[in-house]
């Protein structure tokens, strides 16, 4: 009669693992899991940082060009207003145009601050993964 083939191929000597070897395996698995989660968190933070740098560069360049264009348009509006209303002094035209642009700028600043307060930076996928593990 042929001998039966052992079903436990992971432990060919048919010895039961000791408690210390099981605990060591659990600790190694936990250590590997923590390393993987930290690597994922670093990758997510680096990705967010690169996105922020790209967006900030574009915003800065756009702000400078828009500022120069805005200055030129303001001067044009001032002289147009002074030309359309002959009794209006040049400084009065500057006051009106400057006041309107200041009001619009303040409104845009408040709108931007409100939107910025809603942004949440952080490794969301890592946090969700850790919640699932725990």
Handedness of CA 101, 102, 103, 109 (dihedral sign): positive
pLDDT per position as a tens digit, 14-42? 678 899 989 999 999 999 999 999 998 88
Which pTM value belongs to this model? 0.44
Compute the distance between CA of residue 53 and CA of residue 75 in angstroms, rounded to an integer: 33
What's CA 9's distance to the chain center, in Å?
48
Mean pLDDT of 57-79: 93
């Amino acid at each position: 009669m042929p001998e039966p083939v052992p079903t436990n191929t992971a432990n060919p000597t048919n010895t039961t693992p000791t408690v210390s070897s099981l605990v060591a395996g659990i600790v190694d698995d936990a250590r590997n899991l923590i390393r993987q989660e930290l690597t994922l968190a670093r990758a997510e933070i680096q990705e967010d940082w690169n996105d922020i740098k790209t967006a900030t560069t574009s915003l800065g360049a756009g702000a400078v060009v828009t500022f120069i264009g805005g200055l030129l348009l303001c001067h044009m509006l001032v002289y147009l207003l002074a030309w359309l209303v002959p009794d209006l002094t040049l400084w009065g035209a500057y006051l009106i145009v400057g006041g309107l642009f200041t009001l619009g700028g303040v409104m845009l600043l408040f709108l931007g601050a409100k939107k910025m307060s809603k942004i949440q930076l952080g490794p969301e996928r890592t946090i969700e993964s850790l919640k699932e593990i725990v």
